[in-house]
Structure 1
């Protein structure tokens, strides 16, 4: 019987009226099989007795013959289907925890990646802030050094100018005192000459100081 069930398809175990596996299958004279309740109800609501499959007409309601072979095959088929359903349900119950565990692992991995990215962003922001602070301090230090250098050069320049002016005045006074009998015009000429030399010397010194200052910047 098991070998015979392998040769039958699923459709052969289905009632053509209810489209489900036979329950109490019976045969009618034309050879077609139906559930006993299905064919009985079908003929109860129809005036003429006809086969639902081949439409063969019967003058009077034929006697229903219990089909033991189909009944046994349908029972075996139903049992096999229930076993498959039970086995599939068990497999799903086994698979579900594994799938759930895999999903949880992936979620944890995603959370770890997000946390790592956030930490990396914080580190980058901190490094940028520290770098800006260092370069700002360095810039301010350079600017202060430049200002101090310019101030020192200007002070030296003023000191040099004062020393040169005092020196020229002293030398001019000495030269004039060593020349007795000089007229006021000569004295004025000598003073202007020394003053011109002083201005030339002063211009050269200023040019030299400016060149040095530009090179330092």
Structure 2
């Protein structure tokens, strides 16, 4: 089928993590594309790496290289949709054209506020499909049937018109573009929530490791302090033991010296008593007096 895939391409060039147009797109081994920065932030460590979209896990961290071909496609599409480079004007204004505010896919025309008024008032025109004014209208129109691409084929992952669903897409699973867009946003939000939860888990695991490391460090410091204190106590006890031993030796030496001195004094006392006894005996005899005088 030759229908344009503009709206589908617009979603395909959006990163499912940041929901913005890709910046430096990289491709995972499972085939999904992400911004290099977004994917790097989802992989805070090299131990656990998985695809944020399909959750496939990789045994080792893949080497991410920028998909240069895809980056050129994204760049081309960004330049095509870049605001300010081109303006959409009303197809029904005269010489002084006003800027268009809406594009009708049914009429395949763009309208300013004034010329849009019938689409907001006339019942038949109210049924037309209005979108924000676009310059590349052909991207929103089926080139085969020239009808608005209002549906999305989930089997072929492309936009289709109502006539397409009556032909080659007849048995395919097709849904309104609004429903697919909402489902896409819901899936992206779910992926983002899962990514946020995973990041929260990683942050808490990191915090647990930090707490364990802090406890282990404190334990080692405590053990070292206890060892130092124990060694200090043992050193003090050794000094006390040496001091007590020295004091005991000094006491024994003093006691020995005192005993020797007492023994010497006892001997002197004994000798003096003996001499005193002899003198008393001599004093009772007559001759003793003479001897005493002679002795003097």
TM-score normalised by structure 2 residue count: 0.33
Which has a greater percent of helix?
1
TM-score normalised by structure 1 residue count: 0.44
